[in-house]
Amino acid sequence: MLGIGERNGITPLGGLMARMIVADREYVTGKYKLHKLKAIEDLVADAVEINIPFNNYITGFCAFTHKAGIHAKAILNNPSTYEIINPADFGMSRYVHFASRLTGWNAIKSRAEQLGVEMTDEQLKMVTIKIKALADVRQIAIDDADSIIRSFHWNLHNKEEKPLLPSMNAEELKKFKAAEAEIAGEKEKRELDATVDEQADVPISKKQKV
């Protein structure tokens, strides 16, 4: 269990179950109570006073966490793109991390839908730039990203404009504006490059990178 006390190469239980379910999911899910794995590992970890490694098989908090924009989009469209194991088989959940510099607008769209906020794709892309910009200024939490999404949506439908994140001080606001302009510029450059390639009938995949 968790590799504790192991010296001779015996596979930890979580790793063994992960490998077995890939080989024969129907057999493994029918024979073993996989949803108990997390509880057993937590029990053992508490008993020996250690933390479960963040990258532990199946039960580590990073096991089913997805972050980068293209990666997150693929997971939202079809989880099997990046997950050979269904986290639900082990009573686990996947998490698309959207409060980061690497987030993409598809992840923000998914979060907005969870919050009951309706926006067009173009508006979602605009608010994504703001979230990415804030992540350039400081480490942000889910609440920060949610506040930006809600405030941005409110500002779209009201004459009075309120701050996206009231807790930002003057120095952070200055850095935020600079980061926002930089990220928006990167987006405009990519769109311009794509337009030029299309007009020149050059496939983007074959474009030479400088």
Enclosing H/E stretch for 146: helix 142-156
Residues with Cβ within 8 Å of residue 76, at least 6 apart in sequence: 96, 106, 107, 110
Find where tokens 């997971």 sit.
75
Find where tokens 């999911």 sit.
25
71 is catalytic: yes
Cα separation, 71 vs 128, in Å, equals: 16
Catalytic residue (choose from 35, 66, 71, 97): 71
Q: Taking Cα atoms as reference points, which of 127, 189, 190 lies closest to residue 153?
A: 127
Residues designated as active site: 71
